[in-house]
Structure 1
Amino acid sequence: MAKRALANFFFEVGMLKRTPRSGFQFLGSGAESVAEHSFRTATIGYALARLAGDVDAGRVVLLCLFHDLPEARLGDLNYVNKKYVQADEQRAVDDLAATLPFGDDYRALLGEFSAGQTAEACLAQDADQLEMILALKEYKDLGNRYADAWYPFAVRRLQTELARELAEAIWETDSSLWWFDDGSDWWVHGRRQPPESLPPASTDQG
């Protein structure tokens, strides 16, 4: 029976691949699933934890991976939606937890993230916002002028100086530099150029 419950859980997690992040509707460009968001958030969370040095990096990653799982049942409510819609997230958490052999752990993870009282939860929440800032910068670089208006609000949600410093670096970095910054002939020929030919070795035996 537990294995059937786990199978259902894995299918539920898969729903996040088909659940869109709804804020992009208001930004006017961009598309991202909750699963895509959660993956990059977890990667950011790991980096923050390692840079902080005095927290449980594994715990931060778990918080990031699970923080939006209730959206498989609730959908993603953006800041406009939340003005008018009251979602019962705790019920969604409790209903899923009741079916899982690690339900208490899952409930504790979501409770810790929401409360934001531990160092790990603060970094996970900052990772959540930094992922949004990265997305905003990507769309800003493609010409979305509204990203500049959204950015200050995302920064104000950050709780740690480390995250604020990273946000500034992100906003100052061209989002294509990681792959398009060398200006080499690769972008002309699509292959590495061989080294310049050396003169043939002398065969003079005299």
Structure 2
Amino acid sequence: MHDPYSPRNDEEQPAIEPSRLRGIVDFVQAAERLKDTLRSGATAGGRAESVAEHSWRLCLMVMMFGKELSGYDQHRLLKLCVIHDIGEAISGDVPAIHQYSGDDKAERERADLIALCAYLPEDLQQEIVELWDEYNSAATPEAVLVKGFDKLETMLQHAVGRNAPDFDYAFNLSYGLAQTSRHPLLRQLRRLVDDATRARLDAPADG
């Protein structure tokens, strides 16, 4: 059995097939658009937040609760965090306050994701689409958690961001209630996040 702490001889690893390597690089380059895909919230410095930044902090949040979530597949949790909004690289983000029942947002995002994954070899295309489907339908305990953390990260950003004077903080108090009520840790975090939202409601408008 290989000792994970022993030195590795990477020269013994077979070279990746060139077309597979190119497909992965092309996909990563296409996904770079997420860095310029903006969301409705703002950073603490007042700059528009990107989808890539949201996904990064979602990963960071989940990672920080590794001890509390030790019974879950940690690697899968992070994969779901990375993939959950990646289809927005093509059509952009729709703010929650502008979403409505019957909207085809999920279908559009899935179609965009499939288009984005066209660069990839078939096994990786299948893995990413399956991860997105798992997240979208909350099909596993890990997906349920990521859906809840996704809502909480969004609300935490709103609580710290230098948002527009007419930003609707009250909307956050009813936002994502179903998703953030499905695990004790999510519920505990929700109480803290709601307190932060109420503090912003009572604070003077950003200037």
Q: TM-score, normalised by structure 1?
A: 0.70
SS across alignment from 1:153: coil
Question: Which residue of structure 2 aligns with residue 74 of structure 1?
Answer: 91
Question: Which residue of structure 2 aligns with residue 178 of structure 1?
Answer: none
* d(CA) in 2 for partners of 1:146, 1:89: 25
SS across alignment from 1:123: helix
Question: Which residue of structure 1 aligns with residue 130 of structure 2?
Answer: 108
Question: Which residue of structure 1 aligns with residue 184 of structure 2?
Answer: 161
Question: Which residue of structure 2 aligns with residue 12 of structure 1?
Answer: 30
1:4-39 deviation digits (Å, cap 9, x = unpaired):
322221112211110001x339xxx76210000000
Question: Which residue of structure 2 aligns with residue 123 of structure 1?
Answer: 145
Counting only pairs closer than 5 Å after superposition, residues 1-206 of structure 1 correspond to structure 2 as 1-21=19-39, 23-24=40-41, 31-83=48-100, 86-87=104-105, 88-101=108-121, 102-139=124-161, 146-158=168-180, 159-172=182-195
Identify if the C-alpha distance between structure 1 residues 75 and 164 changes in structure 2 by more than 3 Å, giving closer, same or farther. same
Identify if the C-alpha distance between structure 1 residues 131 and 8 changes in structure 2 by more than 3 Å, giving closer, same or farther. same
* d(CA) in 2 for partners of 1:173, 1:150: 10
* d(CA) in 1 for partners of 2:174, 2:158: 11
* d(CA) in 1 for partners of 2:158, 2:25: 35
Identify if the C-alpha distance between structure 1 residues 136 and 63 changes in structure 2 by more than 3 Å, giving closer, same or farther. same
Aligned-pair CA distance for 1:151 = 2.7
Question: Which residue of structure 2 aligns with residue 184 of structure 1?
Answer: none
Q: Which runs of 5+ in 2 are unaligned?
A: 1-18, 198-207
SS across alignment from 1:52: coil
Q: Is the 8 A contact 1:126 1:163 kept in 2?
A: yes
Number of residues of Structure 1 aligned to a counterpart in Structure 2: 170
Greater RCO (CA < 8 Å, at least 6 residues apart)? 2
* d(CA) in 2 for partners of 1:20, 1:145: 16
SS across alignment from 1:32: strand
Which structure's CA Rg is the greater one? 1
Identical aligned pairs, as a percentage?
25
The two structures, once aligned, show a CA RMSD in angstroms of 2.9
Question: Which residue of structure 1 aligns with residue 10 of structure 2?
Answer: none
